[in-house]
Structure 1
Amino acid sequence: MTPAIPTTEVPILKNLPGLAYLPYHHIRKLRSGTYGHVHLMKSTHNPENLMALKIIPLRKGVKNVRDEYYINQKLMSNEFIIKVFGMSNQSGNCYLTLEYADGGDLLDIMPGKKPAPPELGHHFFKQLLAGIKYMHSQGVVHRDLKPDNLLVFKERATLKIADFGNARHFRYDGNEVWFAEKKYGTRMYMAPEAYTHIRYRGPPIDVFACGLVLVVVLTRINLWERAEKNDPNYMKWVAGGSPDGENWSSLDPKVVELIRRMLLKCPYFRHTIDDIEKSEWMQMERDQKKLWSQIEEMKDKVREKAKKKEEKAEEVLE
């Protein structure tokens, strides 16, 4: 049986949930969040066999972790959804084993404060949209879409949606369920109806978050702290204003129009996934040679960043 361990310490573990009975060695912490920590693990029998171990304190609620696992498992047949291999509870912690995304999250592929090149941004956004479309077709909303939860596999230049801790079913027996929670996911990516409506639909809040993700990818701008009337930047946007900065002013007018439609205050008029797919910007043909050049450049930067992290981890061990 896997021993219970603090979320800040991960020794060599055996019999990890969903994996063969082989020891895995801790490499480094990948990320930390509200609900726990994610660590990179390597098989001691096959060093090329890497996986991510998510450790969640059970005080966060066994039901919440179980829901996250089963929703993720239900969706993972889609190529743009992260795979989860297993789950186990051991005195004090819950362990989820997941496939390891070697490119990090969506912001890791962009060095410093530079935005993604247009072709690369378009490439990853199409994949995000395909993943969300599949998720919604299965009656699930993510409710915490943000760059941190969008992971990249560098060799295949593939984006996968991760972290289903806030995901919920919005359709039961063909009937749509509305939500009433006033706090879900991450405040910066929450839709305005969560602040103003007694109840609200699930799919439009994912669309709203996708619009904000697209802005961050193409400009590295966070439009506001939260989409409600006390935020001056949000009210400026609602009044038709635009954010400052060269990155925004240099955007293609077609993508600006798409972003405006995705970030409409009223969810009834906001673009749907089908509307986004049919938009001029999404239908644009991209220079494939330029795209693959940008992908190769991204791979080089990710490798360089990973090497520095490994060297830092080794220094800590010494």
Structure 2
Amino acid sequence: MLKQKDSSASATPASSSSRLAGSSTPASRANSVSSKDGWVRFVVAPDGKSHQHLLRSARRQEKLSSMLKDMMSKKQRSDDSSPPQTSSTNEAASLSLLSSWLRSNEKDSSLSSKNAVASTSLVEKYGKCHEIIGRGAFGIVRISHKVDPKNSKSEKLYAVKEFKRRPAESQKKYTKRLTSEFCISSSLRHPNVIHTLDLIQDDKGEYCEVMEFCAGGDLYTLILSAGKLEVLEADCYFKQLMRGVVYMHEMGVAHRDLKPENLLLTTSGALKITDFGNGECFRMAWERDVHLTNGVCGSAPYIAPEEYTEDEFDPRPVDIWATGVIYMAMRTGRHLWKSAQKEEDDFYRRYLEGRKDEAGYEPIEQLERARCRNVIYSILDPHPGRRITGKQVLNSEWGREIIVCDAGETGH
């Protein structure tokens, strides 16, 4: 683990006329951070530690997706008319979260919005499904609106994930896959894990998973719109994520697909882990030993190196590895590498070389605090047996000093 002299960074974001929740102190006496389009998303109190997240509603994510596409196409046209880029600039672009998002979004764009016809039982229990807030290989996620029968002006919102059968997937395997995911997710109760309510079939026989609605969207979209997150902002989300991961592991569950897209947010900044499609129970309640797992799953930039090299491995360090990549994505707006395979990826090979060098690996060395850098290096240890655990992260000097916002503490 590299040891560096600690240094602090001072942020000088623009001020705002809004106020911190629960405080009479004007935000003009505090620091506020605006995203690229001018919206104030994060406010730090005058004490420099307490903070508030001001996220926009996920109902506008489809509009945001279109905006990001337009922005990227304009950038591409500009690049086409500009002088050739250097190789280092091209390398940076290749790791851009925005570029990756556009590639994956193009693959998902063939999904039709007309696949959202809900059965009577779904409508009766959770209301009608309307706007789309998410797309993926599984299908789509919509918001359902349940009007209060006693007050027509009041409604309860739910997220409804509509599963689709995979090509050549039998009905038996389809049912087993979805019920397995539902059994895992519905058994977890923690402020930083999504609350799964129900699994219902629609009138076409396809399953819909009903969950609590997180109006702030997902962490991936936030990073895309912000470019990168501030130190206190990223730290708050990271600590919430680590608390959720520690809880899952204590319950004998590994996620195995942690990434910003699977981290939902409330508008006030509470983080929730979602999508347990690749989740595994590595230990039952009556067991003490961990069941090893195998196979490669998840999104390439977040996959741990042992998944490529080991026949069997403990799934817990796999989740921990992903949290380190997620933290760096929050702080830099980029992926550290495309794949944690030194023979396949130059960025990862340079990282392994940097770990052995006193100068370290540049993207991590640019983090302001030595105690933060040390923990990230320990999380991203290529040897899973040496990799730090979630509890050790929370008990580290850096982990203990991270201030979580009020919403993050309550999960609302």
TM bucket (normalised to shorter chain) is 0.7 to 0.9
SS in 2 for 1:240: helix
Which range moves more in the overlay, 57-66 or 204-213?
57-66
2:156 to 36, 49, 53: 49
Deviation at 1:203, TM superposition (A): 0.5
Report the counterpart of residue 191 of structure 1 in structure 2.
304
CA distance in 1, matches of 2:330, 2:373: 13
State the partner residue of 1:236. 350
**Residue 139 of structure 2 aligns with which residue?**
36
Q: Kindly tell me: are residues 125 and 148 of structure 1, through their superposed partners in 2, closer, same or farther at Cα, counting changes over 3 Å?
A: same
Distance 1:210 1:22 in 2: 33
Q: Which amino acid aligns with 1:234?
A: Y
1:160 lines up with 2:272 in the alignment:
yes
Contact in 1 for aligned 2:304/2:322 (Cα 8 Å) = yes
* Aligned-partner Cα distance in 2 for 1:285–1:97: 33
Kindly state the Cα deviation for residue 187 of structure 1 after the two structures are TM-superposed. 1.7
The percent identity for this pair of structures is: 27
Q: Which residues in structure 2 correspond to 1:110-125 (within 5 Å)?
A: 110=223, 112-125=225-238
In 2, Cα distance between the equivalents of 1:204 and 1:232? 23
In the alignment, does 2:121 pair up with 1:15?
yes
1:314 counterpart residue number: none
2:400 aligned with 1:283:
yes
Gaps of 5+ in 1: 1-5, 296-318
Local SS of the residue matching 1:66: helix
The alpha-carbon deviation at position 111 of structure 1 amounts to 5.7
Compare relative contact order (CA 8 Å, sep 6+) and give the higher one, 1 or 2. Answer: 2
Structure 2 counterpart SS, 1:174:
coil
- Call closer, same or farther: CA 1:115–1:251 in 2, change over 3 Å: farther
The alignment's TM-score, normalised by the length of structure 2, stands at 0.62
Give 1:80's aligned residue. 192
Report the 3-state secondary structure (helix = DSSP H, G, I; strand = E; otherwise coil) of the residue aligned with 2:200: strand
Deviation per residue, 1:246-266 (Å, 9 max, x gap): x96253232222111101110
Listed as ranges, the gaps of 5+ residues in structure 2 are 1-110
**Aligned residue identity for 1:31:** G
| 1:1-318 aligned within 5 A | 8-9=113-114, 10-11=116-117, 14-16=120-122, 21=125, 23-26=127-130, 28-45=131-148, 48-59=155-166, 61-75=174-188, 77-90=189-202, 91-110=204-223, 112-155=225-268, 157-172=269-284, 173-181=287-295, 183-229=296-342, 230-240=344-354, 249-284=366-401, 286=403
Asked if the contact 1:188–1:227 (Cα under 8 Å) also holds between the matched residues in 2, the reply is: yes
What TM-score comes out, normalization by structure 1 length? 0.80
CA shift for structure 1 position 160: 0.6
By how many angstroms is 1:278 displaced?
Answer: 2.2
User: What is the CA deviation profile of residues 200-255 of structure 1, one whole-angstrom value per residue up to 9, with x for unaligned ones?
Assistant: 1110000000111111112212001110121111111111166667x962532322
Cα separation, 2, equivalents of 1:112 and 1:11: 31
1:281-300 deviation digits (Å, cap 9, x = unpaired): 212265x8xx78xx9xxxxx
User: What is the SS of the residue equivalent to 1:108?
Assistant: helix
Which SS does the other structure have where 1:256 is aligned? helix
User: Are the structure 2 counterparts of residues 232 and 94 from structure 1 closer, same or farther at C-alpha, using a change threshold of 3 Å?
Assistant: same
- Residues 1:21 and 1:100: Cα distance change in structure 2 (over 3 Å): closer
CA distance in 2, matches of 1:178, 1:150: 25
Counterpart residue type for residue 171 of structure 1: R
Aligned to 2:93: none
Distance 2:348 2:223 in 1: 25
Q: Which runs of 4+ in 1 moved over 4 A?
A: 44-47, 241-245
2:161 match: secondary structure: strand
* Partner of residue 312, structure 1: none
Shift in Å, 1:12:
6.5
Q: Distance in 1 between matches of 2:334 and 2:324?
A: 12
Q: Structure 1 residues 48, 110: CA separation in 2 closer, same or farther (over 3 Å shift)?
A: farther
Provide the alpha-carbon RMSD of the alignment: 2.5
Q: Specify the SS of the correspondent of 1:206.
A: helix
- 2:321 partner SS: helix
Instruction: Verify the 8 A CA contact 2:341 2:349 in the aligned structure 1.
Output: yes
Output the CA distance in 2 between the equivalents of 1:222 and 1:211: 11
Q: Secondary structure at the match of 1:223?
A: coil
Question: Secondary structure at 1:80's aligned position in 2?
Answer: coil
